[in-house]
Structure 1
């Protein structure tokens, strides 16, 4: 049969996705092939070629009948033995894009011709010699069975993934859930970033944040080893879904990311831009306050990747108790929209257990007037942490700032640096001696309040907050002066101490702060 068949794209066979195809190295362990005692003469990276089909031919002109990706089984009975002819055959087969050659040694070639070996090595074409006679039909059946099995697995896996991501879309799953599902399917970290290369959410899949997200913008821009798929719909692109290196997937790693990106795009159309804007802050604040991180480097990498620079910046935390999402947004807007500092202040924040927590990165110290305007705009009392230069110091400042914020009225702005007792309690942490001190002093008041539905602990809090003014303390307690003084007398009797004594007030203040 002549190999001189004109090429026509309409006669080319459909190509299965490469990912579902076995490599040459995968089919070498087929039992039927092993019976031929295969010897790899040209291997290495050449063995990574995908096998689309198996073709049997002894013709030197077989290249014209091939479509690319075939594993050629041959005895080379029709091949010339000259070096030039062998180089020509190897070249034509390589140009046809075949996966490799399996040469059965025998009457025509008792040993593999050196010229053929050299030509295959020069073209990166796998060459395997069989020292024993085997049934080519048995090899063909085994390899084809493996190819079809891989295709079936790929189809089944695509169907499963389609159902998975369709279900997430219909349930309105948030972006972090979709990204987690993609990482789980791939067994590798997956990152969703904005067009500005800021991380919206990331599933690290067991990796350290600084290993995955460190210098993320530069890594994303370089793209080395990363698989990226755009998140877009209706002509608008909002970001990119990126997978880090990992094992192959039966359905194809690109297919997994494309399905996940489609789910993210549909969610973005349905929910608008707000989710992407708030998600990084919610994840970071939750990680910081719940301790779900591996250390300072972890948080530093996450902050930097989310667009909050930490190197060479003035860092601080703001806390407002009894605040909601609107108050948090107002705080951030007031800080970042100020004309004089607009370009130098970055902030992200979220509500955690009823408190607005805002992390601030600035080129210089944030002005007190700006903080007061932010508190007024949000209608909250604002606890301001110390201005620090490292993430470790920033994390350490959160607890004293929360303790301080819990005692502030709307519009009131206080700095932790101005509250040494609050800082002391925070630094002592959960020291059992501090807790015992609080229990010893406050137990009588706590028991009284529990038995009589009283408010003595609350009134005592107002007293220590306003030690120099009983009028201010009464106002803070929302009690008339006469009722307020009755409460003071009851407190004094129960604890057996004089509330006008400075040392007693300091001890009580310390106990209240320790109790939280």
Structure 2
């Protein structure tokens, strides 16, 4: 793991295995080497070794002249002849960090010695035999040209990435944007964790979230830190090689994130981002499977096993962060975010603890109006609970004092929440309300609000008019327009029930407020 203590945006050090500018396999593909009819004696993963340079030598003592990463070209003319000495010679090359050995068979060696083959096999060192004579100078020139071209491309790519991440830093891009750009640059999933190993942001590309989070122990990683302060870790799953080096890309992403943490309160900003992202994805159904949300919730200590969960909406709560903090102090897990003017939260409580009004007040704070969804024991149930609570909140804009309202106390709303995606219910809502929706859209009217007040106060039109903030005479005029548009009798109980069902369905699907 890199433990950078300061920023190093551009690195021009010698290529390491991460900066695999050229591999043995790439060299093998060069026409200059193909002319020698190469035979791969020891290959496999050894062909992925990075080639830093080419060295030509027949000397038995060549190992002491190597720095590591060289591809050795040799005829073997000066190699030892005894098996034990040949094994020591090959081991010396391995210890020197040679990338691979290419032996031209002929006057020096008529066949690759068994002792050399055994050592290379054991040490995973690429070994290639050439059956035809080649000009080593031609191979050297071709490899060096390829290396210089690759290094030039790497420098250009590093500069491009440096410009990209610098621009993100200067614009104050949020952490999730930096993580997404890092993942796209790498072509591999990237995850940002805080020091508690909670997932703050992620971009898994086409990999399922649950699968990506389950494989983080096999990742490349760099710390997000600056000036002696560390906020978290940026991690990437294995992916394709990058011209600038995978770790360089991660370090540039981590640098941009660190700049953001220096400019803002990194811990609180990250926590809000993580929780808002979870709730947005849950409400927007932006997850491939329930397992994705379960995996992300688990990183925040939010679980379902042996617990009951609720979606709640808190009106007038100080902040989403304070709600989550109070929940944690009570021994509950919570994920919360500000949605519009309300705080929306997911709560996970022990099965033995009931979400009483007193518990709600302890979590949300006193003198708040709270809307509570029904209990759930899985992700889809929790989603339905949250949507039901939000639907209940959307239909309650009265100025009545602080209170706790529960979806379980509203059987019709609970029924609509359970059938939210039933196309027949949606068709019923659209069919019944279409004339009013069209009227409000064309005239910027308020007929939907008036109708909502009417069904919320059946049998008490004075209270309905007050809830609409209209005089009784204007309220009655609106009712006349609604009756004429829909060609219905608003005094008929069954008709009002059908309209109530249509309004609740429209609200639960997020259509309320969109004429």
TM-score (norm 2): 0.84
Q: 1:350 and 1:378, CA in 2 relative to 1: closer, same or farther beyond 3 A?
A: farther
TM-superposed CA distance for 1:378, in Å, is 7.4
CA distance in 2, matches of 1:102, 1:440: 78
TM-superposed CA distance for 1:131, in Å, is 1.6
- The answer for the alignment partner of 1:5 in structure 2 is none
Does the 8 Å CA contact 1:385/1:397 hold for their aligned counterparts?
yes
Matched, 1:190 2:181: no
- The answer for the alignment partner of 1:93 in structure 2 is 93
Q: What secondary structure sits across from 1:414 in the alignment?
A: strand
Within-5 A mapping of 1:369-388 = 369-372=358-361, 377=366, 379=368, 381-388=369-376
Cα deviations by residue, 1:19-61 (Å, 9 ceiling, x for unpaired): 2442223211221111111222233333333222212222222
2:489 corresponds, among 497, 507, 510, to 497
Does the 8 Å CA contact 2:440/2:447 hold for their aligned counterparts?
yes
TM-superposed CA distance for 1:384, in Å, is 1.1
- Which structure 2 residue ranges, 5 or more long, are not aligned? 1-12, 508-515
Q: 1:343 and 1:457, CA in 2 relative to 1: closer, same or farther beyond 3 A?
A: closer
TM-superposed CA distance for 1:332, in Å, is 5.9
2:275 corresponds, among 274, 281, 291, to 281
CA distance in 1, matches of 2:106, 2:173: 63
- The answer for the alignment partner of 1:298 in structure 2 is 292
Cα deviations by residue, 1:335-373 (Å, 9 ceiling, x for unpaired): 6526xx734212222234555421111223322123356
Cα deviations by residue, 1:462-499 (Å, 9 ceiling, x for unpaired): 34323365564454334566776777788778866363
- The answer for the alignment partner of 2:15 in structure 1 is 16
CA distance in 2, matches of 1:297, 1:157: 36
CA distance in 2, matches of 1:407, 1:397: 16
Within-5 A mapping of 1:100-249 = 100-214=100-214, 220=216, 223=217, 225-249=218-242
Matched, 1:477 2:464: no
Matched, 1:350 2:342: no
TM-superposed CA distance for 1:298, in Å, is 2.1
Matched, 1:55 2:55: yes
CA distance in 1, matches of 2:62, 2:27: 22
- The answer for the alignment partner of 1:413 in structure 2 is 404
Does the 8 Å CA contact 1:71/1:100 hold for their aligned counterparts?
yes
Q: What secondary structure sits across from 1:365 in the alignment?
A: coil
Matched, 1:512 2:510: no
- The answer for the alignment partner of 1:70 in structure 2 is 70
- Which structure 1 residue ranges, 5 or more long, are not aligned? 1-13
Q: 1:252 and 1:304, CA in 2 relative to 1: closer, same or farther beyond 3 A?
A: same
Q: 1:306 and 1:135, CA in 2 relative to 1: closer, same or farther beyond 3 A?
A: same
Q: 1:460 and 1:73, CA in 2 relative to 1: closer, same or farther beyond 3 A?
A: closer
CA distance in 2, matches of 1:439, 1:32: 72
CA distance in 2, matches of 1:150, 1:208: 33
- The answer for the alignment partner of 2:25 in structure 1 is 25
Which range moved further: 471-480 or 28-37? 471-480
2:385 corresponds, among 394, 397, 410, to 397
CA distance in 2, matches of 1:405, 1:461: 13
Q: 1:371 and 1:480, CA in 2 relative to 1: closer, same or farther beyond 3 A?
A: farther
Q: 1:418 and 1:63, CA in 2 relative to 1: closer, same or farther beyond 3 A?
A: same
TM-superposed CA distance for 1:386, in Å, is 0.1
Matched, 1:365 2:354: yes
Which range moved further: 450-459 or 96-105? 450-459
TM-superposed CA distance for 1:395, in Å, is 1.5
TM-superposed CA distance for 1:193, in Å, is 0.6
Does the 8 Å CA contact 1:462/1:476 hold for their aligned counterparts?
yes
TM-superposed CA distance for 1:445, in Å, is 6.8
Does the 8 Å CA contact 2:16/2:50 hold for their aligned counterparts?
no
TM-score (norm 1): 0.84
Does the 8 Å CA contact 1:331/1:377 hold for their aligned counterparts?
no
- The answer for the alignment partner of 1:10 in structure 2 is none
- The answer for the alignment partner of 2:9 in structure 1 is none
Q: What secondary structure sits across from 1:337 in the alignment?
A: helix
Does the 8 Å CA contact 1:287/1:293 hold for their aligned counterparts?
yes
Q: What secondary structure sits across from 1:103 in the alignment?
A: strand
Q: 1:202 and 1:61, CA in 2 relative to 1: closer, same or farther beyond 3 A?
A: same
Matched, 1:319 2:318: no
| Bigger radius of gyration | 1
Does the 8 Å CA contact 2:320/2:337 hold for their aligned counterparts?
no
- The answer for the alignment partner of 1:36 in structure 2 is 36
Q: How many residues align?
A: 487
